[in-house]
Amino acid sequence: MTRLTRRELALVFGAGALAGTAEARTGRPSMRPGVVGVAKAAAELGKPLGPETARLAMAGALAASVDAASGVEASTALFSPRDIVGIKVNCLAGKNLSPRVDLVEALVDLIAEAGVDRRHIIVFERSNRELQRAGFTIRESGPPYRCVGTNNDYDRDPSTSGAIGSCFARMVSATCSALVSFGVVKDHDLSGVSAGMKNWYGVIHNPNKYHDNGCDPYIADVARHPYIRKKLRLTVLDGVIAQCQGGPAYRQGGIFKLGLVAASTDPVAADLWAWREIESERARRGLPNLEAAGRPVRFLASAAKAGLGIDDPRELSVVTA
């Protein structure tokens, strides 16, 4: 694994060398394969970062992820003023292990400053209740942004992707033209890791059906459905407080202060980075790695095989803001 500065990254990955996976006809920005931008952000459990710290961390990670001069420049490269942007947050574990509101709002501000109407920026989760438990305020309309649960508003008919057959939330199938996965860094009792990719289980009506075999290949199959694959612009991970044991629910004894925020246009690389940080903390504590604990992380290989991103640690480039 290499660690590159933004200047080094620009030399290694010039515009011509970065053959993106985007489809030109959709206008979707190119992916930067294997690149994860990170920025430092420290706070106590359950405490906000504060607007200024959140802004610096979010802008730094975002800019580092796409080699931009600023967070606004990065957002301008990723989002169009014509977009309706959906930010899917993972609030399953409640306030102590959900994306911090101030970090999410910092991202909203950067997207708005890139020219997207605040009424067209939607922070969403499966239900209003989950959002409220995590500290978000429900807003049916903006500004400063919309914040709503999908609340069982699914497509009438299921669609297939690989081994899954599901009705998708209309938020992703019909409403949004651009998507962001905003997850947390935590372990999972079946898939090993729950960060950015498993967050998309929250947009299908039957996620309970897709937990066999460590959720593989189902996590990848949900993420490669055109509703997500063609619209996903960014994965952001709140790693200020992370969890290495006891997930996906919050477990006090399993948390640790990672003190980082990460962003990537490569959803597989983002989860690979989260996996590495979880394994590092488990090793520090003398815990077995996830495979030895009976929770091997299988889904990333399936996701890479489907062309969703990079799962090889040797190709992971962590760029520090």
DSSP states along 5-70: -HHHHHHHS-TTT------GGGTPPPP-TTEEEEEE----TT----HHHHHHHHHHHHHHHHT-SS
pTM for the whole thing? 0.91
- Residue 138 falls inside a structural domain: yes
- The tally of domains found in the chain comes to 1
- Residue 26 falls inside a structural domain: no
Note the pLDDT of residue 27: 52
- Residue 17 falls inside a structural domain: no
- Residue 194 falls inside a structural domain: yes
Backbone angles phi, psi at 75, to 5 degrees: -65, -40
- Residue 25 falls inside a structural domain: no
55 pLDDT exceeds 50? yes
Instruction: In whole angstroms, give the CA distance from residue 29 to residue 213.
Output: 33
Containing structural domain, residue 121: 2-10+36-316
- Residue 134 falls inside a structural domain: yes
User: What is the overall mean pLDDT for the chain?
Assistant: 91
Q: Summarize pLDDT for 233-281 with one digit per residue, the tens.
A: 999 999 999 999 999 999 999 999 999 999 999 999 999 999 999 999 9
- pLDDT band at 28, cuts 50/70/90? low
- Residue 216 falls inside a structural domain: yes
Note the pLDDT of residue 217: 98
- Residue 200 falls inside a structural domain: yes
Query: Which of 188, 235, 237 minimizes the C-alpha distance to 216?
Result: 188
CATH number, residue 201: 3.40.50
